[in-house]
Every structure is written in C-alpha cells, then in structure tokens.
Amino acid sequence: MRIMRDRKQRGGKTVTVITGLPGQSSELAAMAQQLKKLCGTGGTVKDGNVEIQGDHCDKIQEKLTSLGYKVKRAGG
C-alpha cells in the first residue's frame, strides 16, 4: 500500500492518494469515510484508489499503520 501527494490534473489542488488498499468497493468506501472523518475533509474513491483532499500523508500513515497495514510513502 502506498500513500502519495498529488496535484496533477486537479487544477492545482493537492490531494492525498492511497493506492493498494485491499477489499471491495464497499470496503474502500468505508475506509475512505473513516479517513475523511480523521482529516476533517472531503474525499472520494476513484479507480480503486482513495483520494483525500489536502496534504494529510502523515495522519493517514499513522492511522493505517495502527490498523495493521504495511504503508510506504511514495513521491514527495
């Protein structure tokens, strides 16, 4: 599982993208809901990736690690 910050094709807005989450679309939606609540911001599930608005890589990495996932940072 990888966490990265991205701004491409988003009109200059920064999002945090989480790739490689296991599970079906309903499980991904539930995980996205938890992460949006943790960060206090919006987000979505697109193409099997979870996108959270803003730069929240550190918070999300801590949360996923505490849930037992093996997480790597990608990009900058």
Domain boundaries, the chain: 2-73
Topology (CATH level 3) of domain 2-73? Translation Initiation Factor Eif1 (3.30.780)
The pLDDT score that the predictor gives to residue 76 is 62
Condensed to tens digits (0 to 9), the pLDDT of residues 3-39 reads: 999 988 888 899 999 999 888 888 999 999 999 999 9
Q: What is the pTM of this model?
A: 0.88
| Residue 39 to residues 9, 36, 62, 68, 74, Cα–Cα distance (Å) | 22, 5, 12, 19, 19
Report the C-alpha gap between 13 and 64 in whole angstroms: 24
